[in-house]
Each structure stands twice: as C-alpha cells, then as structure tokens.
Amino acid sequence: MSKTGKNIWKIVKIVLIAALAAAVLFIGLVLFLLLRGLTQDRATNDLGEYGKNLDAVYQAADYMPSLDDCSSYTAAAVSFRQHESMFPHEGVMLLLRYDKAGFEEQLRIIEDKYRFYDGENAYLQDIDASVNGYSFRVADLGFPASWCVHQCLLIGLNSDTNSIVYAYYYDSEVDYIEDLDQNIREYFYFPKEWEGTTKRTYLL
C-alpha cells in the first residue's frame, strides 16, 4: 500500500472511531434520559386548573375531594407533578386553608368520610409522615394490600396554619412504600411560595 493510501486509511479509522464513540455517547444519553425521565412541575392559585389536574392523573377524580366538599376555605392552591420516563407517574395536590372553626369542621368531615391505615403491611411499610409542617396519613381506599401503593391518597394536616393537604398519585410500577416521607417528596410538588393565597407566601 502506498504512503498516500496508508494515510487515507488512518484518517478513515480515526473517523470511524470518532463516529462510534459519538454513537455510544448518544445511546448512553438516550438511555439515561429514558431511565431518569423528565419531571414537569406546576402550581397555581387558579382553582380552575384543579379539574384539569384531576383529569391528568388516573382515577384522581374518583378519590380526591371536589371543591364543593371543601367549602368555607379562606385560601387554596393546587399543584401537579408529572414524571415522564420508562416508569412514569403523576401526582396532584390540593391545599386548603381555613379559619379555626372551618378547620375543626373539616377535621370532623375527614374522620367521618375516610378510613386510614392503622397498621403496616408488606407493601405499605410506612403509614404516616411529617413533611413541611404537615402530618400525613395514608387513606384506605379499599384496595388489596398489593395495590394500595399504586394508587395512594394522603391527607396532611397542619393545625398551626389551619391547613389541609389532599394528595393523590398513581404509579403502576412501584412495589412498596418503605419511607413515606421520601415517597411524598418524590410524587408531589411542594412549591416554596404560592403568591396571593394568604398574607404568608410560604404555605407548605
């Protein structure tokens, strides 16, 4: 092979190696994005968005309260988290603030309307948590033990601010809940500020 031919072959090999390296990096990036996924968070004081958020999460409207069920609140906000990946999941949250009398009335309604897990099982290994000042419990929606972690309704109470959070997520891939605190932070968007809901902007 001539000297010119050898030089051309070296250039071809360099180009092929570079192309292969680029392809490997691209495939790795695609796999990384597929596994890690992309998370979309949004929060608003516009309660007109609440129905849209419920429609976006599988059967959320069947288990989250309607606004008519939560009358007399003095401030309200909603948030939504959508995680797109090979293992997608969505969560919707409704925050309501009351005066003292309205809060106590809602506590009575909650105790009458909902049943809560009072013991752990193989799938639901943690049934209460404290997140951002709210004490959360897991509502018993009547599912078999193996399914209660896939569709989960949590209710959080903050007696210092007379506030209630209803939070629901759907994830068909989760196997069990070992740490409810971590679970809440993963599935729900807790914005630090919700402007305009009350004089205090830090609600959660």
Of residues 71 and 112, more confidence is placed in 112
In this prediction, residue 16 carries a pLDDT of: 65
Residue 69 DSSP one-character state? G
Task: Please report which helix (H) or strand (E) contains residue 100, including its range.
Answer: helix 100-113
Task: Please tell me whether the overall predicted TM-score, pTM, comes out greater than 0.85 for this model.
Answer: no
Region 151-171: mean pLDDT is 92
The answer for residues whose C-beta is within 8 angstroms of residue 101's C-beta and 6 or more apart is none
Residue with the two structure tokens 């890690």: 36
- pLDDT tens-digit profile of 13-64? 666 666 666 555 544 444 434 444 466 777 788 888 888 888 888 899 999 9
In this prediction, residue 83 carries a pLDDT of: 63
Ranges of H-type helices in the chain: 3-36, 48-56, 60-63, 100-113, 180-187
In this prediction, residue 56 carries a pLDDT of: 84
The residue type of 118 is D
How many C-beta neighbours within 10 Å does residue 113 have?
11
Please count the CA atoms within 13 angstroms of the CA of 135 that sit on its side-chain side.
Answer: 7
Alpha carbon distance 132, 99 (integer Å): 20
Of residues 41 and 74, more confidence is placed in 74
- pLDDT tens-digit profile of 107-143? 999 999 999 998 888 898 888 898 888 999 999 999 8
